[in-house]
Structure 1
Amino acid sequence: MKTKLYIFTFISVALIIVIIGYVGMTMSLDYMQQKYIELQLDINKRQAQNMATFLENQLKNGATKKEVRENLQQALMGSDEDKGFLCMFDKYDAEMVCHPNKNKVGTKLPASLTFENEKTGDIEKTRNVILEGLETGGLFHTPNKTEIAYMIPVKGTEWMISAHENIQTIKDEIMSQKKMFLTGFLIMAFITAVLATLMARLVGRRYEKTIEEQNLALENANEELKTVNNDLNHKNEEITLQKQIIEDQHEVVTKKNEQITEQNEQIKSSIQYARRIQEALLPPDKVISDVINEYFVFYKPRDIVSGDFYWFKKIKNTIIFAAADSTGHGVPGAFMSMLGIAFLNEIVTEDFYESDNCTASLILDGLRDKIKNTLRQTGDENNQTSDGMDMSIILINTDTLMMQFAGAYNPLYIVRKNKLTEVQADKMPVGVYVKDDQTFTNKRAQLQKNDILYMFSDGYYDQFGEETGRKFMKKRFREFLEEISIKPMNEQKEILNKTFTEWKGKTEQSDDVLIAGIKI
């Protein structure tokens, strides 16, 4: 009877844990999959928008359509079609113009393929969607797979840029997580059920022992000795059982650690791929060096990916340079940095430059509005994120050397004739803030030949030293920049790196580091 009770206790506890865990896990993973698809669709939208803008800029800069098309095809070669890739259609006849698989270039899209609109849920012929030539996103169904796709027309051309991501990749990842969670719940259910059964047995034995002691008090000493011996035998059996349980648990923990190690390697590989994407979004050295003769960028992420980023653009006779420190570091910071780069590309266009509103402060105002709208920052302290970024941005007229500056917490240092001057920033971030109606201040300064400008995040002077256990500090950082400003720009970068490495020693890097120096 007692054995049946123990078995029933074991099965009941295990079954309850498994049911609760499985239902909760299924609901969480389904929600995760839906959110991941929405996020991937937004990422595809950004990719398609950036590529469409890039192609439009090439055409505006005098490149022929043939050159643009050939350059894009060359860039797409080798992309993995089973993962994410870009392609381009002719929106007038649904002909494939560019594709990672060169054999598909020049072919027309089969009429049997369908496209499920993300906003309306309507299912249409993919060919008809392309022929309409309108920006749209959704699920692109083919006989072999389903892809998350976002299509955008390239202005002034007959082309449609389409960004694709294989939805099966998402489903495989979710299924992998589901198997992992299910295994964990089964192990937890087994261990909990075993412990509950043991507790039931221990409680039962406590009452049995009391009754036995009362009965043994009436028996002779011989029976009492036998009972004591039996108790000892039972204790030995319990110790043996507990030992076996511990050995089984050790084996389970060992296997779990192996799974965690494998998952960490997979996560690390994914973050490495994210780093390549983030580095591709940063302005290449050649793009900057073609415009600025003497400069350096000391860029040292704390983790694989970074929350700090820098951005550069030249429109006619104006150089625009920004240095930013996003909320957090690692993967969260990297997401914010990618948003910042994408939004700056949207804001700073030739149309914006030609308008009367082309000032450094209005760029920060526009960036703040986009971040608040995207992250749904309403000002409600109980229901909002406080993510954003600290930033400094400059606009320099290369003909007159007149500079505009606006800063969100991060100032600008100007060294002229070995003397450093600080241009102060506004004490508010690019993001939600208590004084939400306050705009950023636009400051102007007349630069001179051989002036040196420094823009930076707080990562360098907030780093703790191994020997002192204290931060480098902003005052020392300022004096240090003033001291090395007489050196060539590339040598300054080497000195900054060497000093940072020696100061940090074996202490863990506490934050992302970014310092940009420009010599006029």
Structure 2
Amino acid sequence: MDLPSVDYFKRQTVHRLPYAGGISTEIAPVSPETTNIAVLNRFARDRDLVSLPVVSLGVPVGLIHRNTFMSEMSTPESQEMYGPQSCVTFMNRDPLIVDEKLNLEVLSFRVVDHGEQTLAAGFIVTRDGFYSGVGSCLRLMRMIADLQAEKNRQIRHSIEYAGVIQQALMRAARETLAKTSNDSELVWEPRDVVGGDFYHFARFQDGWFGAVADCTGHGVPGAFMTLITSSLLVQAIEHCSPQDPAAILSELNRAIKRLLGQAGPREDLGQSDDGLDGAFFWFDDAKRTLTYAAAKTPLFVLNQDSDDFVVVDGDRMGVGYVDTPMDYQWRTQVIDAPQGTLMFVTTDGLVDQIGGPKQTAFGKRRIRESILAQRNERADVIGMSVINAYSLWQADQPRRDDLTFLCFRP
């Protein structure tokens, strides 16, 4: 084995690389023959020196921690007694020694496992078995924090771009709604940058189809479910008639269960138990009727000559979940919608938001009150009234879920 040159031991600039060698400083070592008095003088000259490596023929044999050493050599008597002796007297004979190519994450675990002395004194870094430098645990923690911050930044930017993609995928549906209904307000606010709520609107010759849905989860998992479900929904509409939202729900239920492996006996299934709640409907232009089918999602209907809403409840059965039967058939409800009828449908993120003086849910009653107070206004004004009431209710409470609602006059 070749011995390292003299330049090998010179102090060099620390390179911030994601492995042990990147956080080490090459401190000129001492040999086992070095006396304690010489080490004492070395620490006196270099007050920033925390630990001093002891190296024999290029191979590290120990580490002298400043605080431990100075404590032992603090009195004239101890200096007189131990000064002429070898520095191995107060040397840690079992320091943590790692290769310069060791990953910082693995290194951090080894530092913790090696004990408190290593956290204070640091560790020795080697290159091909030879002494390379001394690593500081403080520098290690700073480096890991910086790496984590950079990783978090990259993840945040990725999620932000995923949000752009998610909104772009639903842009066509939003544009279809705007062209189809000139008095509508669609609010889509994910709790995080991306979310598990989605909507879909499609115009046909004799009417239009709409869907507002809440997939399992929020954030990135929820967004994945929206991509899966919205794609399956398009296929279901093509396979079934858009005039039959209940059939589309059933078709979507079967597709989700098959795709996610959620069909069959529970004991044979995997860990996935995902699906959606939502409202699917068809509006017939000529008949002015709304055909409605829903999973755990109510429809609020306010006729011009009515004092209050009629609430049309959906089935109490989610779509695609393990416990949902493969052949479940959702109910179809047909609602007359004469000119001026106001309709409102929302995911549970609006209803379930905690707030107010007693920290209770926003609830359906406050939704109705917010709408009734502005019932003669356009849908966008009514939507703003709902959002304002919701925000006041939420106050400083964290948002619980994604928020999506549709207010429209067909």
TM value normalised by structure 1: 0.54
Contact 2:198 2:214 (C-alpha < 8 Å) held by counterparts: yes
> What is the deviation of 1:383?
2.7
> What is the deviation of 1:446?
2.4
Contact 1:453 1:517 (C-alpha < 8 Å) held by counterparts: yes
Q: Where does residue 222 of structure 1 map in the other structure?
A: none
Of stretches 447-456 and 246-255 in structure 1, the one that deviates more from structure 2 is 246-255
Q: Where does residue 49 of structure 1 map in the other structure?
A: none
Aligned mate of 2:337, from 424, 434, 447: 447
Q: What is the correspondence of 1:114-513 to structure 2 with a 5 Å cutoff?
A: 182-194=103-115, 243-245=120-122, 248-284=136-172, 285-349=174-238, 352-353=240-241, 358-378=243-263, 379-380=265-266, 383-417=270-304, 418=306, 419-436=308-325, 437-465=327-355, 467-513=357-403
Matched residues, number: 306
Give structure 1 stretches of 5+ with no counterpart. Answer: 19-178, 199-240
Of stretches 282-291 and 394-403 in structure 1, the one that deviates more from structure 2 is 282-291
Q: Whole-Å Cα distance in 2 between the matches of residues 415 and 471 of structure 1?
A: 23
> What is the deviation of 1:327?
0.8
Contact 1:308 1:337 (C-alpha < 8 Å) held by counterparts: yes
Amino acid at match of 2:266: D
> What is the deviation of 1:435?
4.7
SS at match of 2:348: coil
Q: What is the correspondence of 1:3-22 to structure 2 with a 5 Å cutoff?
A: none
Superposed CA offset, 1:195-243 (max 9, x none): 6xx6xxxxxxxxxxxxxxxxxxxxxxxxxxxxxxxxxxxxxxxxxx764
Residue 466 and residue 268 in structure 1: after superposition, are their counterparts in 2 closer, same or farther (change >3 A)? farther
SS at match of 2:349: coil
Amino acid at match of 1:406: A
Give structure 2 stretches of 5+ with no counterpart. Answer: 1-60, 63-87, 124-134
> What is the deviation of 1:503?
2.0
Q: Whole-Å Cα distance in 2 between the matches of residues 340 and 301 of structure 1?
A: 17
Relative contact order, higher structure (CA 8 A, sep 6+):
2
SS at match of 1:323: strand
Residue 9 and residue 249 in structure 1: after superposition, are their counterparts in 2 closer, same or farther (change >3 A)? closer
| Percent of aligned positions that are identical | 24
SS at match of 2:309: strand
Q: Whole-Å Cα distance in 1 between the matches of residues 374 and 257 of structure 2?
A: 39
SS at match of 1:286: helix
SS at match of 1:484: coil
Q: What is the correspondence of 1:54-133 to structure 2 with a 5 Å cutoff?
A: none
| Structure 1 moving runs of 4+ over 4 Å | 6-11
| Higher Rg of the two aligned structures | 2
SS at match of 2:160: helix
Of stretches 321-330 and 250-259 in structure 1, the one that deviates more from structure 2 is 250-259
Amino acid at match of 1:444: V
Q: Whole-Å Cα distance in 2 between the matches of residues 407 and 7 of structure 1?
A: 72
Amino acid at match of 1:333: G
Q: Whole-Å Cα distance in 2 between the matches of residues 474 and 251 of structure 1?
A: 55
> What is the deviation of 1:500?
2.0
> CA RMSD of the aligned region, Å?
3.0
Q: Whole-Å Cα distance in 1 between the matches of residues 141 and 153 of structure 2?
A: 18
> What is the deviation of 1:433?
4.3
Amino acid at match of 2:352: D
